[in-house]
């Protein structure tokens, strides 16, 4: 490793979305079906009708989702496929199209909140095998670094930050950074709040060491924040190590699935991300809102994001917003690279960008950079 290799560029990125499209109407129908089933089981048990307050949790429509969330559709993985399958397909697409070889990768970082397996094995190790990355050179093991990294909706930018630290410190030269989540696994079909939001996708980005003069980033261009005081507004009540054995009735009620207080999320995250978080991150980087040619926000909810962007615009942001257009839902650790991969024509040399993750925890993780080399991007929806 040359001691001048102290910068990082992105050498290509790819996104894979599953084939199965779920329109808002289909999600609404699935929620209605669940309400019918619950109603029937309540009648059978002689416990009366579903209270109006509870029945409301099942009600949604295409119109409502488009108006209040901004999503038109999302995609779900088929039965039996998890995060590793999304990750593997995205990585294969990246290597096939870019012509880079997986054999050159020295590190695999998997950003995800939905590990394919609880406890073990980690997705990073599964990906080594799925891609056939060599871990032997004759009788000697070939070094390969890896980790699964999770920080709710900020997982991907938090992982990008770690990739930068590994490269900047001279510890890695070529990192395969995956952002992938099978969020459909986290849906409680008795609660519209996340059912209308979540989607599945996998992405793969190649992070490569370059001389310091060609660095797209700098240590000051990464900014992060956490506040566990609001942890309850995006939380899974059961199934983790604090409550590893939910009762059958809790499973039935979806207590092992992700829940959100949507109003609180909006109330807390919009003013924070739109105001002081962005200010602090820009101040650290020595950048201004005016400097950004484009911004990509974690696609939590396009209506919420529009409120954040409005605050930035009022204070000088004139750049473009690259998003996935509400076609894939909130794909958590995949959302930011997915949005980039859906806008390959906009990733033009010379442009300054902001990648802005925020959400559960609460957490925020931002990165600012400049595209200094061509950044090819692919997705499985476009022909080559």
What secondary structure letter does DSSP report for 254? T
Tell me the C-alpha to C-alpha distance, in Å, between residue 208 and each of 7, 80, 157, 162, 196. Answer: 8, 33, 16, 13, 37
CA-closest candidate to residue 334, choices 202, 205, 204: 202
**366 beta partners:** 223, 356
When the beta carbons of 48 and 248 are compared against a copy of itself, the nearer one is 248
Shortest Å, Cβ 78 to a copy of itself:
11
Shortest Å, Cβ 42 to a copy of itself:
20
Shortest Å, Cβ 157 to a copy of itself:
11
When the beta carbons of 162 and 302 are compared against a copy of itself, the nearer one is 162
31: Cβ–Cβ under 8 A, 6 or more apart, which residues?
58, 59, 60, 189, 192, 195
When the beta carbons of 50 and 165 are compared against a copy of itself, the nearer one is 165
CA-closest candidate to residue 2, choices 176, 170, 189: 170
* Interatomic CA distance for residues 252 and 102, integer angstroms: 43
The 10 Å Cβ neighbour count of residue 67 is 10
What secondary structure letter does DSSP report for 242? T
Shortest Å, Cβ 235 to a copy of itself:
6
Shortest Å, Cβ 86 to a copy of itself:
9
177: Cβ–Cβ under 8 A, 6 or more apart, which residues?
109, 111, 159, 160, 163, 204, 205, 206, 207
When the beta carbons of 23 and 224 are compared against a copy of itself, the nearer one is 224
* Interatomic CA distance for residues 81 and 361, integer angstroms: 27
* Interatomic CA distance for residues 358 and 365, integer angstroms: 6
Distance linking the first and last C-alpha atoms of the chain: 34
When the beta carbons of 45 and 118 are compared against a copy of itself, the nearer one is 118
119: Cβ–Cβ under 8 A, 6 or more apart, which residues?
none
When the beta carbons of 25 and 226 are compared against a copy of itself, the nearer one is 226
Q: Give the three-class secondary structure for 366.
A: strand
Shortest Å, Cβ 50 to a copy of itself:
23
When the beta carbons of 252 and 314 are compared against a copy of itself, the nearer one is 252
Shortest Å, Cβ 99 to a copy of itself:
24
When the beta carbons of 66 and 266 are compared against a copy of itself, the nearer one is 266
294: Cβ–Cβ under 8 A, 6 or more apart, which residues?
319, 320, 321, 322, 346, 351, 353, 354
Shortest Å, Cβ 35 to a copy of itself:
19
């Amino acid at each position: 490793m040359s001691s001048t290799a102290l910068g990082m560029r992105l050498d290509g990125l790819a996104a894979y979305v599953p084939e199965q499209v779920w329109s808002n109407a289909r999600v609404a129908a699935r929620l209605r079906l669940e309400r019918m089933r619950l109603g029937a089981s309540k009648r059978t048990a002689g416990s009366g009708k579903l209270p109006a307050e509870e029945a409301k949790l099942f009600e949604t429509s295409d119109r409502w989702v488009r108006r209040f969330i901004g999503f038109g559709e999302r995609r779900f993985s088929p039965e039996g496929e998890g995060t590793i399958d999304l990750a593997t397909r995205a990585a294969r697409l990246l290597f096939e199209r870019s012509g880079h070889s997986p054999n050159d990768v020295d590190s695999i970082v998997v950003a995800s909140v939905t590990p394919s397996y609880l406890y073990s094995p980690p997705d990073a190790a599964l990906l080594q095998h799925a891609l056939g990355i060599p871990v032997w050179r004759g009788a000697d093991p070939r070094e390969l670094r890896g980790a699964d990294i999770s920080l709710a909706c900020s997982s991907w930018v938090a992982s990008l930050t770690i990739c930068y630290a590994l490269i900047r410190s001279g510890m890695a030269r070529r990192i395969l950074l995956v952002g992938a989540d099978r969020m459909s696994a986290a849906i409680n079909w008795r609660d519209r709040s996340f059912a209308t939001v979540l989607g599945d996708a996998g992405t793969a980005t190649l992070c490569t060491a370059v001389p310091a003069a060609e660095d797209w980033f700098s240590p000051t261009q990464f900014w992060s924040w956490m506040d566990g005081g609001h942890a309850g507004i995006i939380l899974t009540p059961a199934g983790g190590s604090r409550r590893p054995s939910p009762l059958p009735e809790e499973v039935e009620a979806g207590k092992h699935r992700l829940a959100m207080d949507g109003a609180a999320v909006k109330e807390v995250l919009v003013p924070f991300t739109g105001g002081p978080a962005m200010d602090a991150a820009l101040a650290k980087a020595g950048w201004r809102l005016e400097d950004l040619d484009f911004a990509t926000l974690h696609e939590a909810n396009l209506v919420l994001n529009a409120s954040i962007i409005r605050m930035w615009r009022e204070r000088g942001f004139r750049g473009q917003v690259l998003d996935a257009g509400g076609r894939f839902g909130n794909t958590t650790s995949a959302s930011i690279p997915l949005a980039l991969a859906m806008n390959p024509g906009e990733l033009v040399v010379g442009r300054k960008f902001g990648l802005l993750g925020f959400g559960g925890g609460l957490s925020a993780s931002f990165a600012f950079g400049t595209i200094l080399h061509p950044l090819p991007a692919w997705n499985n929806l476009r022909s080559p």
